[in-house]
């Protein structure tokens, strides 16, 4: 049976961390068995808010690919590609930009939130405002039917499908296919500071590539319960980062429940608890780090070259159909 095609991607802006691991990466290792999986390293999209540092983004491209392979994404099953190396994406974006209004882009909830976070007022870079259109080109160029992602990706899928409908109607064709999100229900992993979600930019995450001593240091920095002064004091579970990580990464739920019970009664110290979590995370991350150490930059670049070649073959087929449907000069 023909496998359904799926596309997903990440911006190469920093090392992937435990939040990505439970939120999307583990899932990709499973999905590559049942779907024809494309994973895009979205360096072009990353530039929409990092255009001042293109060289940094270029470095992260290779590191991101190393993260992928070290957690078990298999380039024989999954096509890993680099967005900037597929010029057809830029061409398709150009055509799609005519099918979307600026006011619609300004109302995109994810973009709106990001604009507020970045403090843009009338100075929003056009490239940033239009990245959902670029993402619509990513998805449709590869004729992906499924796109895994969190709820922040819903507006991107809606925008993609709106463009697809508009294009097909306008140019009287059926060549573009609508796509569907595979919604990730994983709650976001909290950062070690307990304040916000774990994120590359906030520096409050444990990276997949962190050294053992860094992992331990981060575990011991984790926010617990400031009122839990003495070991014998009752401790609070709610908002306690160590328990959030034990919930996410400890394989045995009953053990975690017993620990919570003990902690809230009193008699279980933070140091004991953190040592336990540290042991678990070290066991989880050691094989990932070891795999990473076997991957040379040269081998990664070759692998990406192959992925880009495969991706471009498909891209040129779609672009041929798009130009035909539109009646573009050829």
Cβ proximity to ligand TRP: between 136 and 215 the closer is 136
Q: Is 135 in the site for ligand TRP (CB under 6 A)?
A: yes
Asked if 133 and 161 count as a contact pair (C-beta separation under 8 A), the reply is: no
Q: Is 60 in the site for ligand TRP (CB under 6 A)?
A: no
What minimum distance in Å lies between the beta carbon of 284 and ligand TRP? Answer: 23
What minimum distance in Å lies between the beta carbon of 44 and ligand TRP? Answer: 8
Helix then strand then coil, % of the chain, to nearest 5: 60, 10, 30
Q: Is 285 in the site for ligand TRP (CB under 6 A)?
A: no
Instruction: Give the 3-state secondary structure of residue 284.
Output: helix
Cβ proximity to ligand TRP: between 67 and 138 the closer is 138
How far apart CA 50 and CA 167 sit, in angstroms, is 30
How far apart CA 215 and CA 207 sit, in angstroms, is 8
Q: Which stretch binds ligand TRP (CB under 6 A): 15-23, 131-139, 240-248, 295-303?
A: 131-139
Q: Is 43 in the site for ligand TRP (CB under 6 A)?
A: no
Residues for the chain: how many in total? 330
What minimum distance in Å lies between the beta carbon of 43 and ligand TRP? Answer: 10
Crossing angle for the helix pair 131-141 and 297-326, nearest 10 degrees?
90
Q: Is 114 in the site for ligand TRP (CB under 6 A)?
A: no
What minimum distance in Å lies between the beta carbon of 149 and ligand TRP? Answer: 6
How far apart CA 192 and CA 62 sit, in angstroms, is 26
Q: How many CB atoms lie within 10 A of CB 271?
A: 10
Q: Which stretch binds ligand TRP (CB under 6 A): 39-47, 49-57, 72-80, 279-287?
A: 39-47
Q: Is 81 in the site for ligand TRP (CB under 6 A)?
A: no
Q: Is 139 in the site for ligand TRP (CB under 6 A)?
A: yes
Q: Which stretch binds ligand TRP (CB under 6 A): 4-12, 71-79, 237-245, 317-325?
A: 4-12
Asked if 222 and 204 count as a contact pair (C-beta separation under 8 A), the reply is: no
Asked if 245 and 231 count as a contact pair (C-beta separation under 8 A), the reply is: no
Q: Is 10 in the site for ligand TRP (CB under 6 A)?
A: yes
- What Rg value do the Cα atoms of the chain yield, rounded? 22
**What's CA 185's distance to the chain center, in Å?**
14
Instruction: Give the 3-state secondary structure of residue 79.
Output: strand
E strand or H helix at 39: strand 35-41
What minimum distance in Å lies between the beta carbon of 83 and ligand TRP? Answer: 7
| Residues 146-165 close enough to bind ligand TRP by CB under 6 A | 147, 149
Q: Is 205 in the site for ligand TRP (CB under 6 A)?
A: no
Q: Is 82 in the site for ligand TRP (CB under 6 A)?
A: no
What minimum distance in Å lies between the beta carbon of 251 and ligand TRP? Answer: 28
Q: Which stretch binds ligand TRP (CB under 6 A): 37-45, 56-64, 90-98, 294-302?
A: 37-45
Among 5, 6, 9, 307, binds ligand TRP (CB under 6 A): 9
How far apart CA 263 and CA 205 sit, in angstroms, is 24
The set of residues, in sequence order, having a beta carbon less than 8 Å from that of 95 and lying 6+ positions away, is 322, 326
Residues binding ligand TRP (CB under 6 A): 7-11, 40, 42, 45, 135, 138-139, 147, 149
């Amino acid at each position: 049976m023909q496998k359904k095609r799926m596309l997903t991607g990440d911006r190469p802006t920093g090392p992937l961390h435990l939040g990505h691991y439970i939120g999307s990466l583990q899932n990709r290792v499973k999905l590559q068995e049942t779907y024809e999986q494309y994973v895009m390293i979205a360096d072009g999209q990353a530039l929409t808010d990092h255009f001042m540092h293109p060289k940094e983004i270029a470095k992260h491209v290779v590191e991101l690919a190393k993260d992928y392979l070290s957690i078990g994404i298999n380039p024989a099953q999954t096509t890993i590609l680099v967005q900037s190396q597929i010029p057809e994406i830029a061409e398709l974006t150009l055509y799609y930009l005519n099918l979307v209004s600026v006011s619609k882009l300004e109302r995109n909830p994810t973009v709106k939130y990001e604009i507020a976070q970045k403090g843009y007022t009338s100075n929003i870079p056009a490239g940033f405002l239009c990245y959902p259109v670029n993402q619509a080109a990513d998805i449709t160029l590869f004729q992906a039917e499924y796109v895994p992602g969190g709820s922040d990706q819903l507006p991107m899928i809606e925008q993609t499908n709106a463009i697809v409908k508009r294009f097909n109607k306008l140019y009287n064709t059926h060549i573009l296919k609508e796509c569907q999100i595979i919604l990730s229900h994983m709650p976001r992993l909290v950062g070690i500071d307990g304040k916000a979600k774990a994120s590359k930019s906030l520096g409050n995450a444990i990276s997949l590539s962190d050294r053992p001593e860094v992992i331990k240091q981060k575990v011991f920095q984790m926010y617990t319960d400031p009122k839990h002064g003495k070991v014998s004091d009752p401790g609070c579970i709610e908002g306690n980062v160590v328990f959030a990580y034990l919930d996410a990464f400890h394989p045995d739920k009953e053990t975690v429940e017993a620990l919570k019970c003990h902690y809230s009664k009193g008699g279980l110290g933070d140091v004991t608890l953190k040592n336990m979590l540290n042991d678990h995370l070290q066991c989880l991350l050691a094989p990932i780090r070891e795999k990473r150490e076997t991957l040379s930059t040269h081998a990664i670049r070759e692998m990406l070259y192959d992925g880009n070649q495969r991706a471009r073959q498909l891209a040129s087929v779609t672009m041929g159909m798009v130009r035909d449907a539109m009646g573009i000069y050829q």
